[in-house]
Chain A
C-alpha cells in the first residue's frame, strides 16, 4: 500500500449547464417513462404491499397508466423489447385463467376443496364437534385390543364404543369381505360421530383393474387401487363432514415381505386422505412404534423399556394398544368438546 494519495476528487471535465437544465433533463426522462411505462408503474404499484410506498406509487401509476392506455405506445415498446426479457414466454395454454373455462375438459384437474385442509395445520382453530356419542372402532385383527382400550377409557365420558373387528379381512381382499359395502352399512346402522380404523394385517392381494388386468402388490399401480378404495371408505365414514375419521397407519411388521406391503398401504392411506384432511386424521403409528421404518419389539413407555408388539411381529400387544389409545384419544379430545 502506497503512502502516495491515489485519491482523485475531480470535477468532471465536461461542460457545465444550469440547474434548470438538470431538472429539465430529468423531467423529460420522467415524462417519456410515464408515457411508455405508465401501465407497468400502475401494475407494479398494485403488486406492492399496502403502505405509504404503495400509495405513492399508485398515485403516480394510476394517472400514468390511464394516459399510457390512451396513447398506446407502451404495448409497442413492450413488443419491441420483449426479446430482452429473461423471463420465459408464457403465452401458451394451461394458464389459471383457463381453469374455469376448461373445467369440464378431459385435461382439467379435479378442484381441491376446503375439506383437503386440516384447519389446525393452517394455524386455525379446528371446527370442533359438540359431543362424541358414538364411536365405531373397526378394522381387522389390528384393531384388537385397541378397541377394548378405547371403549374402556371413553365410557366415563358417555361414549358408546361399537367394536367391529373383522378378522382376516383386507381392503385388497374383497372376495372375503367388501369393506366398501361394510362401511356404508356401518354408517347407516350406527351413524357414528367418529370412526377409528386400523387394518392391514392381511393386505397385499392383487387387484383386478379395468380390462381384467391384474395388478400385483406393491407398486404404484397397486397403491393407487388401494388408495381409491380407502378414499371411498373415508368418504363414507366422514358422512359429508359430519363425522371424524381416525385412520391409523401400520407400524412396520417384523417380516421384510410384510414391511413392503405395509409401506405401500401407508403410502396409499396418506394419498387417499388428501381431499379430506379436514375430517380424516391419519395417525402415524409407524413413527411411534417403528421410527425410521425399523421393527422393534420394545420401546420406552413411561420411562421404562416395555414390550409393545405381539410375538407374531405384526400386532400390538396390550401395552402397545394402550400407547395407541393414548394417541387416538388425544386426537379425539382436540376434535370433540365433550371430551375436554
Chain B
C-alpha cells in the first residue's frame, strides 16, 4: 500500500480511530496494530508477511538466547548467527541475481563453463529497512544497550506500518520503550503531524513526480537525445527529485506516527546546504548514516588505527552503503564517490592551512553530490557515461521551462535559507483549530491530486531499496 492512494486514505482513518479507542487496553491494541501493519504490508504481496514473521521470530529467539547467557563467546556466536541469517535473507532476495549474473560473466571470460543457476526472485518491498532494524535489535541486545522486548513488541517494532517500507530506520532502543506504556491521548502533536503529512505530499506528488515526468525520466532514459543544457538541468532536477521523494515519504511517515502518538527520528535536515561531505551525511538519510556508523564503520575500527585504516573504513562503509541501495554497479560507484570525497576531505582538513570561503565549499560539495547521483539514477554505467559525455555537447535547451527551472531553484534555494521563516510558518500552522487543520489537509490533498497524471502516483524511489 502506498501512502498517497485511496486505499491508504481509507485504511488510515479507520486504524487511527481504532488505535486511540484501544490504546488504554494494550492487550487489544498491540495485536490490532500488528494485524493492521501486516494488512498494510500484504497489499504488496501477502506471502511477504511470512518473511517478516520469520525474521521476527528468528531475531527474537536470538535476542532471548543472547540475553539469557553470560558466556561472551556463546553470546557472540548467537549474534553472529542472527546477523548472518538477516544478511543472508537480504542477500538471497536482493543480491543473488546480481551475484549470479556477474559471476557467470566472469567464469565465461576465463573459459569456465560452470554457470550458477539464474532465478527470478521477487524483491519484498522495504526488505533492506526491515533487515537493518532486525540487526539493530539483535546487536543492541548483544551490546546490552536494551533488554529483549516481548515478542509482540518486537513484532510491532519491525512491522509498524508508518516506517515499514522505507524507513526512517528506527533503532529498537528508540521505538520499543514507546510501547512500554500507552501513548498519552492528551499529548498528541496533531499540528506537527498534519504539517508533515501535507509537506510530504507536496514534496512527493507536486514536486518529485512533476520533475520526474517533465525532465528526469526523459533525459536519463535516452541521454543521447539531449544536449548539455537539458542534461545539466536533469542532473540538478534529479537531485531535487530524490530529495523530495524520499524526504516526502519520511515526512509523511513521521507525521502519521505523530498522529498515532509515536515519535520517529528525523531523517533529513536540508542536506543540500552542506559545506562538507561529513555535514552532508549528517543531513541526508540520517538514520542510515547513523546505522552505518554504529554497525559498520565503528566495528571496522572507525578512525582509530591511523589515517590509512580510517580511509579504508570510510571507503568500505560508503561502498557497502551504496550497495545497500541495490544490486547494481551504479550504486557501488555512488558509494565510492562519497567515500573518496570523505577521505579527500579528511586529508585536506588536516593538511590545508587555508580554508576556502563558505560559498565555494558549498558549491564543490553540492556539485559532487549532484554528479554522484548520475550513476545512482542511470539504468546502467554505460548510460551514466553517456549522460556525462552529453555535458560536453552544447546544443538547444528543449526541456527548460519556467516551472521546471523554478521548482529546482526553489527547492535548492529554500535549503540555503535559515530555518527561522519555515519554522515560523510551521508554528503558525500548528496553532490552527483541529477542524481547520483537517480542512487545510483536505485542500492540499485536492490540489496535489489535481497534479497527478492519468498514469497514477509512481512508487516512492526508496520502495525499491
Contact = CB atoms under 8 A, between A and B. Distances in A.
Contacts of A37: 446, 449
A229 to B, nearest CB: 42
B438 A29 contact: yes
A32 B438 contact: yes
Interface of A: 1-3, 5-30, 32-33, 36-37, 40-41, 44-45, 53, 56-57, 60-61, 77, 81-82, 84-87
A9 B173 CA distance: 12
25 contacts: A2-B278, A3-B302, A7-B290, A12-B192, A14-B430, A15-B191, A15-B431, A16-B186, A16-B187, A16-B188, A19-B23, A19-B183, A25-B435, A25-B437, A26-B12, A27-B17, A28-B434, A28-B435, A33-B9, A33-B446, A36-B442, A37-B449, A81-B447, A82-B450, A87-B453
Chain A interface helix/strand/loop/mixed: helix
A6 B284 CA distance: 11
A41 B449 CA distance: 12
Interface string B282-306: 1000110110110001100011000
Interface string B422-465: 00001100110011011101110111011111100000000000
B141 interface: no
Nearest to B442: A32
Contact of A14 (B186, B192, B290, B445): B192
Contacts of A57: 6-7, 10
Interface stretch (B114-122, B257-265, B363-371): B257-265
Nearest to B254: A12
Contacts, number: 169
Given A1-B281, A27-B438, A32-B442, A19 B261 contact: yes
A44 B189 CA distance: 32
Which of A26, A77, A87 counts the most chain B CB atoms within 10 A? Answer: A26
B185 to A, nearest CB: 4
Given A7-B287, A53-B7, A22 B188 contact: yes
Nearest to A7: B290
Nearest to B428: A14
Given A19-B261, A22-B190, 17 more contacts: A1-B297, A6-B282, A8-B286, A9-B174, A13-B427, A14-B191, A14-B192, A17-B191, A23-B20, A24-B435, A27-B13, A28-B439, A28-B442, A30-B9, A86-B451, A86-B452, A87-B454
B193 interface: yes
B447 A29 contact: no
A12 B443 CA distance: 23
B314 interface: yes
A300 to B, nearest CB: 26
A29 B432 CA distance: 14
B194 interface: yes
A5 to B, nearest CB: 7
A9 B189 CA distance: 14
Which of A6, A44, A53 counts the most chain B CB atoms within 10 A? Answer: A6
B34 interface: no
Interface in B1-56: 6-7, 9-10, 12-13, 16-17, 20, 23, 43
A29 B439 contact: yes
B265 A7 contact: yes
Nearest to A80: B450
Contacts of B161: none
Interface of B: 6-7, 9-10, 12-13, 16-17, 20, 23, 43, 174, 183, 185-195, 210, 213, 258-259, 261, 263, 265-266, 269, 278, 281-282, 286-287, 289-290, 292-293, 297-298, 302-303, 314, 317, 342, 426-427, 430-431, 434-435, 437-439, 441-443, 445-447, 449-454
A8 B289 CA distance: 13
A29 B286 contact: no
Nearest to B266: A8
B163 to A, nearest CB: 13
Contacts of B183: 19
Nearest to B449: A37
Given A14-B430, A33-B445, A36-B446, A25 B293 contact: no
B345 to A, nearest CB: 10
B6 A17 contact: no
B266 A25 contact: no
B442 A29 contact: yes
A17 B191 CA distance: 8
A86 B9 CA distance: 23
Contacts of A28: 434-435, 437-439, 442
A86 B192 contact: no
Given A11-B189, A29-B445, A33-B445, A3 B303 contact: yes
Contacts of B9: 30, 33
A6 B438 contact: no
Contacts of A26: 12-13, 16, 259, 438, 441
Contacts of A20: 20, 185
Contacts of A17: 188-191, 434
B258 A12 contact: yes
B430 A24 contact: no
- A-B interface, 5 closest residue pairs, ranked by CB to CB distance from nearest: A28-B438, A12-B192, A14-B430, A81-B450, A19-B185
B293 to A, nearest CB: 6
A32 B185 CA distance: 25
A7 B445 contact: no
B193 A22 contact: yes
B10 A33 contact: no
A36 B439 CA distance: 12
Nearest to B183: A19
B28 to A, nearest CB: 16
Contact of B286 (A6, A12, A33): A6
A30 B367 CA distance: 42
B450 A85 contact: yes
Contacts of A24: 434-435, 438
Nearest to A9: B265
Contacts of A53: 7, 43
A19 B263 CA distance: 15
A307 to B, nearest CB: 37
Contacts of A5: 290
A60 B12 CA distance: 14
B213 A60 contact: no
A130 B187 CA distance: 81
Nearest to B342: A1
